[in-house]
Amino acid sequence: MEYIVILLMITLSMMVLVAVVYRKSGASLSWYDEVASVLLAWLTYYASALAALSRGHIGFNGLLNAMKPSLRVPVLLFGEVLVIGFFILLAWVGVEVLVILEGDSLTSLTWVPTRLTQSVIPIGAVLFVIGQLLSFPDMWKQAMSEKGIAGHDDVEIPEETPENTKEVLQP
């Protein structure tokens, strides 16, 4: 998955650079805007699924960690059901969109079917659900522990000991 995201980032970056050079030379690429927006959407969906795999999305771990494990676990499950339910709905609607778009093509590149460009909606949604499900066991273990759910920005705070809490007395 990382390789797909990296490839999309490199492709989009190179396309932007080439388009800038062409535009500065007075020969704009007629298809650039449409293709760049499609690549940006693909990058967004696939990177989102990758972030779901590592639980890298913005979350409310502090709120969950403030709760006792007996309350933390049901709230975590409720959140998971909401997120996974939303992405299942998104996948289903994405398939419906593909049916509606049958026969359409991009405006500037008429040989590229719109269904191909929009297929990222159901594919990205399914990948997101898979990422959530694969990372859930670790999240469950953390939620069950007294320490709580570790966040990507958590900092280890050392325990107070007489050696590291000496007061500095001024004369």
- For every residue of 67-114, DSSP letters joined together read S-HHHHHHHHHHHHHHHHHHHHHHHHHHHHHHHHTTT-B-SS-TTSBH
- Whether 104 is covered by a domain: the verdict is yes
Q: Band of the pLDDT at 70, cuts 50, 70, 90?
A: confident
| Under 8 Å between Cβ of 104 and 115 | yes
Q: Give the sign of the dihedral formed by CA 67, CA 72, CA 74, CA 75.
A: positive
At 55, the pLDDT band (50, 70, 90 cuts) reads confident
For 137, half-sphere exposure in the C-beta direction (CA atoms, 13 angstrom radius) is 2
pLDDT of residue 57: 83
Judge if pTM exceeds 0.75. Answer: yes
Cα(40)–Cα(18) distance, rounded to whole angstroms? Answer: 16
Question: What pLDDT does residue 168 have?
Answer: 52
Least confident of 51-55, 71-75, 152-156: 152-156
Query: Is 93 within a domain?
Result: yes
Domain that holds residue 74: 2-144
Residue 88 domain flag: yes
Q: How far is C-alpha 129 from the geometric centre of its chain's CA atoms?
A: 11
- 160 located within any domain: no
The pLDDT tens digits of the residues spanning 107-127 come to 999 999 999 999 999 999 999
Structure tokens at 3: 């390789």
Question: Mean pLDDT, to the nearest integer, of 147-160?
Answer: 62
Q: Does residue 12 lie in a domain region?
A: yes
Domain contains 159: no
Residue 163 inside a domain? The answer is: no
| Mean pLDDT score across all residues of the chain | 88
The total number of structural domains in the chain stands at 1
Residue 140 belongs to some domain of the structure: yes
- Give the separation between CA 34 and CA 31, rounded to whole angstroms: 6
More confident residue, 93 or 153: 93
**How large is the average pLDDT for residues 120-141?**
95
